[in-house]
Structure 1
Amino acid sequence: MWLPMLGLTALPHLGGLYGGFVTRKEVKTWFPSLNKPWWRPPNFAFPIVWTTLYTGMGYGSYLVWKELGGFTEDAMVPMGLYGLQLALNWAWTPIFFGAHKIKLALIEIVMLTGAVGATMVSWYPISSTATLIMAPYLAWLCLATALNYCIWRDNPEEEKEE
């Protein structure tokens, strides 16, 4: 039973590694040129926070998967919503940092936050522990959404031309 736990816990980190690769250059070049709110967390906080959140959401998905007996018919909705939010999570970084599409990233992160909320609602009857593990992730996304909004609002000319 260790392999599914390790695999599902590690899965979110795959997109995180790719996101780190996309972000690395832009954090040194493009991102410093943007107007950002004073309350933005420092750059060093992001990898620490995301490593913690990815580990938590991955382990939460394992708890739900285990409670439902694997990828059964009953798991379609809760694990499908989890997969949707994970795909949206992984897509945000290439949109924001890779393509410099601040407004599109804002729309995307709002959809992501909704998908995380829906995932949590679907998980609650299955595992309240897994749902509570996702709460810091939802809180961080609310902060990240506000940050994305402020950057979009304060940098209207920063969008890359088509």
Structure 2
Amino acid sequence: MWLPMIGMTALPHLGGLYGSFITRKEVKSWYPTLKKPSWRPPNAAFPVVWTCLYTGMGYSSYLVWKELGGFTEEALVPLGLYGLQLALNWFWTPIFFGAHKLKLALVDIVLLTGTVGATMVSWYPISRTATLLMAPYLAWLCLATCLNYRIWRDNREEKEE
């Protein structure tokens, strides 16, 4: 049972790794040109936070998978919602940092936050531990959604068509 646990825990990091290649350049060139609120976390916090969040969400998906006996019919909705939120998560960085589409990134992160909430609701009867492991992720997404909104609002004339 170690291989599924390691694989499912590592899976979210794949999108994070891809996103870090996009972000690395843009954080030094494009991102500093944006107006940002004073309450935003420092740039150095993001990789640390995302590493923890990806690990927690990956392990929690393993707990749900294990409790449901794998990829069964019963797992379709809870793990399908998880997969959808993971895809929305992975799309956000290329939209925001890669394409510089602040409004589209905002739409993505709003859908992402809602999908994470729906995932947690579907997981609660299956594994409360898995649901609780997703709570910091949902909290961070609420902050990130507010930050995305403020950056879009304060930069839409200069930075987006």
TM-score by length of 2: 0.99
Q: Does 1:10 align with 2:10?
A: yes
Structure 2 stretches lacking a partner, 5+ long? none
In the alignment, the residues of structure 2 paired with residue 148 and residue 77 of structure 1 have an alpha-carbon distance, to the nearest angstrom, of 28
Among the aligned pairs, what percent are the same residue?
82
* Residue type at the aligned position of 1:77: V
Q: Secondary structure at the match of 1:155?
A: helix
Partner residue of 2:138?
138
Distance 1:27 1:38 in 2: 17
What residue in structure 2 maps to residue 105 of structure 1? 105
After superposition, what is the alpha-carbon deviation per residue over 1:78-97, rounded to whole angstroms, capped at 9, x for unaligned?
Answer: 00000000000000000000
Shift of 1:122: 0.3
1:18-69 CA distances to partner (integer Å, 9 max, x unpaired)?
0000100000000000000000000000000000000000000000000000
Which residue number corresponds to residue 91 of structure 2? 91
Q: 2:18 & 2:40 partners in 1: Cα distance?
A: 23
Runs of 4+ in 1 over 2 A off after TM superposition: none
RMSD across aligned C-alpha pairs, in angstroms?
Answer: 0.5
Q: C-alpha distance in 2, partners of 1:150/1:77? A: 33
Structure 1, gaps ≥5 residues long: none
Matched residue, 1:155: 155
Q: Secondary structure at the match of 2:41?
A: coil
Residue in structure 1 matched with residue 19 of structure 2 by the alignment: 19
Determine the C-alpha separation between the residues in 2 that align with 1:130 and 1:152.
Answer: 33
- Give runs of aligned pairs for residues 32-71 of structure 1, distance below 5 A: 32-71=32-71
SS in 1 for 2:80: helix
Distance 1:103 1:130 in 2: 31
SS in 2 for 1:125: coil
For 2:14 and 2:91, locate their aligned partners in 1 and report how far apart those are by CA, in whole Å.
12
* Offset, 1:71: 0.3
Q: CA deviation at 1:74?
A: 0.3
For 2:22 and 2:90, the matched residues in 1 are separated by 11
Partner letter of residue 67 of structure 1?
E
